[in-house]
Amino acid sequence: MHFLSVNDFSRDQMNEVFDIADEISLGKSTVSLKEGSTLALLFEKPSTRTRVSFEVAMGRLGGRSIYIDAKTSQMSRGEPVSDTARMLSLYVDFVAARMYHHEDLVEFANASTIPVVNALTDLEHPTQAMADLYTVSNAKRRIKGVRIAFVGDIAQNTCNSLMLAAVKLGAEMALVGPKDYPANPEYLTRSREYGVVDIYDTMEDGLANVDIVYTDTFVSMGNEDEAEKRRKAFAKYQVNANALKYADKDALVMHPLPAFRGQEITADVLEGSRSIVWEQAKNKLLLEQAIIMYLSEKSM
Ligand code: CP
Ligand code: NVA
């Protein structure tokens, strides 16, 4: 079984992964991987959190990891993604891959005989969504009925995964961004089959009654050529103290990090009492442990 998209997990499966995370965090988990289990981290893009937390997650589960910078692999000389997947399947037990193009990850997974996890592509960031929703559930004591605003670039990976996973679990989404950068139509349609996704182009309307204000960079990896244009287009959607006045008085602030202070979020909000971004980052490690354990059990 692979985890390439939040679509790969049903609602029950997401809850099973959260239960494993609870057991691990309470120290009640007796699970560990078969001795010598190895995770290859194949990364085409930079990473701090996802790379380090996956490496530590494997160590805590009794396994180990190997980091492969795609630029220094034979992929950079044109070895097909599918051959790379076949090779890694001969040597390691799991792969977490961060790739520019989601289709490359799908091609990789199709040629792989071991579980493959999406560690971020242009289309999705599903391990982040799992950590995020686990964080919401701990902070708000529920997910069902929680209203989450995703603010800024609603057309990207983090939003796609969060939106689809959140509505599957019974949360509501408010997408708040400029009309020129609309949400991915396929993810929007699929998400609306599960629950409520409203779209706004003003902060005042979009943040009304929301419990969570979630933002992410205006310039995702791969969009650097359009950096200036994007910063201008999204400027009105900065999460700052004034914007938070529109949200519920107990609304919390989330961000997958890295944050660009002064662009999508101000430093005072990021470091303020409503921010749970550090808890969110911490939970990546726990959820990655839980996801590896879950895939390991399902692949036996
Ligand atoms: N949130 C996240 O994926 O961070 P990294 O890019 O540092 O892995
Ligand atoms: N949307 C961002 C997420 C970074 C963790 C990006 O793709 O760069």
- Give me the residue spans of the domains in the chain: 6-124+281-298, 128-278
191, amino acid identity: S
Residues 6+ apart with CB under 8 A from 56: 285
Phi/psi for 264 (5° steps) reads: -75, -20
Confidence at residue 105, expressed as pLDDT on a 0 to 100 scale? 98
Using a 6 Å cutoff on CB, does residue 160 contact ligand 2? Answer: no
Which residue has a Cα nearest atom 3 of ligand 1? Answer: 50
Residues 6+ apart with CB under 8 A from 191: 163, 164, 167, 173, 197
6-124+281-298 and 128-278 agree in CATH topology? yes
Full-model pTM: 0.97
pLDDT per position in the chain (300 positions), as tens? 999 999 999 999 999 999 999 999 998 877 779 888 999 999 999 999 999 999 999 999 999 999 999 999 999 999 999 999 999 999 999 999 999 999 999 999 999 999 999 999 999 999 999 999 999 999 999 999 999 999 999 999 999 999 999 999 999 999 999 999 999 999 999 999 999 999 999 999 999 999 999 999 999 999 999 999 999 999 999 999 999 999 999 999 999 999 999 999 999 999 999 999 999 999 999 999 999 999 999 887
Confidence at residue 35, expressed as pLDDT on a 0 to 100 scale? 85
Confidence at residue 28, expressed as pLDDT on a 0 to 100 scale? 82
CB atoms within 10 A of CB 74: 12
**Contact indicator for 158, 254 with CB cutoff of 8 Å:** no
| Cα(5) to centroid(ligand 2), Å | 15
- Nearest-5° Cα angle at 11, 258 to 157: 30
Given 3.40.50.80, 3.30.70.340, 3.40.50.1370, 3.90.1150.10, which CATH number is that of 128-278? 3.40.50.1370
Count of residues for the chain? 300
Q: Which atom of ligand 1 is nearest to the CA of 53?
A: 8
Burial of 254 (0-12, 13-18, 19+ CB in 10 A): buried
Q: How far apart are the first and last CA of the chain?
A: 10
CATH superfamily label, 6-124+281-298: Aspartate/ornithine carbamoyltransferase (3.40.50.1370)
| Cα(217) to centroid(ligand 2), Å | 7
